[in-house]
Amino acid sequence: MNEHADADFSAVRRFHDGVSEAFGELYDRYADGIFRFIYAKTRHRETAEDLTSHAFIKALEHLPAFRSELGSFRAWLYRIARNTVIDHYRTTRLTLDLEDAWDVAGNSDTAKEAEAQIALHKVEKYLADLTAEQRDVVFLRLWQDLSYAEIAQILGKSEASCKMMLSRVLLKIRKDVLVMLLAGLVRVIN
Amino acid sequence: MTYDIKNILSDLYQIDPSLREHEAKLQPLISELLEARSDLAINPAFRDRLRMILMNKIRDQKVAKPSFSRLFAAGLAGRSMYTMAGALVLILVVAVSVTILNRGGTPASPAGSQIAFEQDITKTKNEAFGPLAVAPVGGRGGGQEASGQKSLDTVATAPSGTGGYGGGGGMTKPSSLIYPVPQPSYVFNYVGDPISLTEKTVEVLRRAKGVGSMPAFDSLLGAFDVSGISLNSFGASKIQNLVLAGGGDNGYTITIDFFEGFIGISKTVFDWGPRCMAPEKCLDNQPSPTINQKPDDAKLINAANKFLKEHGIDTSAYGTPIIQDDWGIAYGQTPPEQRAMFYIPDAITVLYPLILNGQTVYEQGGMFPMGLQVQVSVRNLTVTGVWNMTLQRYESSQYEAETDSAKIIAAAERGGWGGYVIMATEAERLTTSVSLGTPSRGYLRMWNYNDGSNDELYVPALAFPVLKAPVRAYLPKYVVVPLAKDLMTQQYPDIMLMKGVAE
């Protein structure tokens, strides 16, 4: 459960009542996370900063239409961020169907962001072969600590399918785990 | 196994319980992925800039309202604008006055009568405000008598800082102090993340004053004779202050200071002092409120919000309201057996922190942010006063920034700007370590006596949160250190120790 859900709800309501700073409160809470999420997808600081700006401006413009009964503010914001990244790659690389920087060879900005790049490089072997959607599940569940309900809201899928997706991701990136899955499947079939 | 990994595995087992047998192999894999979580932090300068852009965008989108700022700004406009502005001021004053004076359970103010406080910042040349704090003046916390010659650079290299809350003064070097009794003092230790200071300059703001008047009325003053005294004989006069007093049980008095750019609202008091005509209702004939009578914080804040909304007072320049509970801190310090004697105030202040360029503004001392204050009666939840409603017009000027984070941290460990004075000699201190966390960007409001005027400056600063205060310690919530280099090299007074008392 998102520990800030109540505070988010209150801030959105105050923003609707005309309290501008309530948006600042939401921004303060999520600016870091949204930047990290976008950075994980773009692997380039300047691009991540640009897209973080776009995402928050979109969120500001669309906040009057946000309805809390349809899901959490955090998931709504991450969905905007994800779509912003997708839009970015689709509009800048028209000939390819890309959703993030992982599908673009050599896009990483290794020299500038050494520490982060080293961290990303360690798991590059796992993440590079995944689909963008599968990577999002990893980023959102493992790196952003979002709930499956929120990830489902962001990806437009069911909670169960998101759980299944992470399970498959883990299995896919570990050969010996694949063996385990097969063993498990055999047991299920039998 | 960490909580994260346990949770993730638990989810996976729901999908395929047989995986539980292979936990030993799954665990390091998840751990490796978790560890790869990017440590790249958002650039603080970028984060602050984007926040400012977003907040400006919100302000730009707001529907134009009768504007306090624009009306006060009329003093800078042309002659014909003076007359128009004067007329508008009259309309505003009358509108606000009629609305507020006649309030008392009446319907909310009509749309469009909201008092807006748009922030307007005009850039000026570098170091336009002269040396910062060249002549510190007393005020918030006092204790700033000029004397010694110790610079903060010297102070900042000290291994650790000590101090007890006292207010006033600069970031002082422990030397000596006139103080009647030894007091507990605290050693601040910075435990936050490394600080990166890359900006070469900081933008210091000065609140503009003296730009407002009521020119449409000024010209009429000469036509008045008061008890045979011709106002015209005093030469050109103008209205600088206006006080409108409302009667009745629910009346409010409005004070408008055109020079300071300030509006104050206070309940017209007939339930206190010699003007109280019904002894049974006079508060000074009644016992003080008890702690049990104090409403919940949420009720106090709701009452303040309701009042501001009803009277169309725009709070967009201010942050989320908090209770200014300095009395509560003192209450907490009081031993339980003595609390029955503790004075609980009749009104508690709800504070709406001022937000400048998306950042919180702190008072010297760091006990609370500064901002709009609404006083709410503990007895009946009525608002008894609104203060610090100020014209949000500023000039800005670039000043050289301090980029040495070690000096900034050392200054924080000494208690920051204006927060602490030394209460005893080194040997006598009853020191307790207090941790300071990673700072956030903000502004420090400070006062600078400059060429005969008392400048109200807003200096970019770092606010270090006090992570855990010792029980019964009267400590600030933040230790605030300004980032202007000029302030880091200022010279601050020694404080003399009263011999034979603290010894």
The pLDDT tens digits of the residues spanning B253-273 come to: 888 887 777 888 887 766 666
Comparing CB atoms, the residue among A25, A49, A53 nearest residue B320 is: A25
Higher pLDDT, A85 or B64: A85
DSSP-derived pairing of the beta strands B184-190 and B430-436: parallel
Comparing CB atoms, the residue among A20, A39, A53 nearest residue B55 is: A20
Higher pLDDT, B113 or B393: B393
Residue A152 · residue A145 · CB < 8 Å: no
pLDDT at residue B298, rounded to an integer = 93
Closest to B405 in 3D by CA, of B94, B193, B123: B193
pLDDT at residue B124, rounded to an integer = 87
CB < 8 Å to B355, chain A: 21, 24
CB < 8 Å to B57, chain A: 57, 60
Residue B376 · residue B304 · CB < 8 Å: yes
Q: Give the distance from residue B404's alpha carbon to the nearest chain A alpha carbon, in angstroms.
A: 23
Q: Give the distance from residue B333's alpha carbon to the nearest chain A alpha carbon, in angstroms.
A: 30
pLDDT at residue B431, rounded to an integer = 64
Q: Give the distance from residue B115's alpha carbon to the nearest chain A alpha carbon, in angstroms.
A: 13
* CB–CB contact B55 A60 (8 Å): no
Task: Name which of A8-12, A120-124, A159-163 the model is least confident about.
Answer: A120-124
Q: Give the distance from residue B109's alpha carbon to the nearest chain A alpha carbon, in angstroms.
A: 15
**Is residue B497 scored above 50 in pLDDT?**
no
CB < 8 Å to A173, chain B: 29
pLDDT at residue B107, rounded to an integer = 34
B90: confidence class by pLDDT, cuts 50, 70, 90: very low
B113: confidence class by pLDDT, cuts 50, 70, 90: very low
DSSP letter, residue B501: T
pLDDT at residue A87, rounded to an integer = 82
Phi and psi (nearest 5°) for B8?
A: -65, -45
**Token digits of residue B35:** 């560890």
Residue B417 · residue B171 · CB < 8 Å: yes
pLDDT at residue B406, rounded to an integer = 92
Average pLDDT score over residue span B129-147: 50
pLDDT at residue B211, rounded to an integer = 53
pLDDT at residue B398, rounded to an integer = 94
pLDDT at residue A102, rounded to an integer = 55
B404: confidence class by pLDDT, cuts 50, 70, 90: very high
* CB–CB contact B55 A23 (8 Å): yes
CA–CA distance, A93 with B328 (Å, rounded to integer): 60
Residue B313 · residue B399 · CB < 8 Å: no
Could you tell me which residues come within 8 angstroms of residue A60 by beta carbon, excluding any fewer than 6 positions away?
A: A23, B54, B57, B58
**Is residue A55 scored above 80 in pLDDT?**
yes
Q: Give the distance from residue B18's alpha carbon to the nearest chain A alpha carbon, in angstroms.
A: 6
SS3 B253: strand
Task: Name which of B146-155, B264-273, B375-384, B478-487 the model is least confident about.
Answer: B146-155
Comparing CB atoms, the residue among A36, A174, A184 nearest residue B40 is: A36
* CB–CB contact B29 A24 (8 Å): no
Percent share of chain B, pLDDT over 70: 55
CB < 8 Å to A183, chain B: 18
Comparing CB atoms, the residue among B32, B53, B58 nearest residue A123 is: B32
A113: confidence class by pLDDT, cuts 50, 70, 90: low
SS3 B427: helix
Phi-psi region of B435 (alpha: psi -120 to 50; beta: other; left: phi over 0): beta
**Is residue A37 scored above 50 in pLDDT?**
yes
**Is residue B423 scored above 60 in pLDDT?**
no
Task: Name which of A18-32, B91-105, B154-168, B249-263 the model is least confident about.
Answer: B154-168
**Token digits of residue A133:** 């959607």
Task: Name which of B10-19, B298-307, B353-362 the model is least confident about.
Answer: B10-19
CA–CA distance, B283 with B425 (Å, rounded to integer): 45
Which range, A71-80, A144-153, B106-115, is most confident? Answer: A71-80
DSSP letter, residue B106: P
pLDDT at residue A42, rounded to an integer = 84
Q: How many CB pairs under 8 A join A and B?
A: 136
Q: Give the distance from residue A115's alpha carbon to the nearest chain B alpha carbon, in angstroms.
A: 7
Could you tell me which residues come within 8 angstroms of residue A174 by beta carbon, excluding any fewer than 6 positions away?
A: B25, B26, B29
DSSP letter, residue B46: H
Average pLDDT score over residue span A6-29: 87
Average pLDDT score over residue span B67-92: 40
CA–CA distance, B46 with A64 (Å, rounded to integer): 25
CB < 8 Å to B43, chain A: 45, 49
Dihedral (CA of B143, B144, B146, B152) sign? positive
**Is residue A165 scored above 50 in pLDDT?**
yes
- Please name the residue of chain A whose CA is at the shortest distance from the CA of residue B352: A21
Higher pLDDT, A187 or B345: B345
CB < 8 Å to B8, chain A: 141-142, 166
SS3 B370: coil
* CB–CB contact A28 B51 (8 Å): yes
- Please name the residue of chain B whose CA is at the shortest distance from the CA of residue A141: B8
What are the tens digits of pLDDT across the range A57-82? 999 988 888 877 778 899 999 999 99
- Kind and range of the H or E element at A80? helix A73-92
CA–CA distance, B10 with B29 (Å, rounded to integer): 15
**Is residue A139 scored above 90 in pLDDT?**
no
A188: confidence class by pLDDT, cuts 50, 70, 90: low
**Token digits of residue B9:** 């595995």
Average pLDDT score over residue span B282-293: 75
User: In the beta sheet, which residues pair with residue B252?
Assistant: B267
Residue B114 · residue B67 · CB < 8 Å: no
A93: confidence class by pLDDT, cuts 50, 70, 90: low
* CB–CB contact B47 A18 (8 Å): no
- Please name the residue of chain B whose CA is at the shortest distance from the CA of residue A52: B50
CB < 8 Å to A180, chain B: 18-19, 21-22, 25
Let me know if B185 is exposed, middle or buried by CB neighbors in 10 A (0-12, 13-18, 19+). Answer: buried
CB < 8 Å to A36, chain B: 38, 40, 42
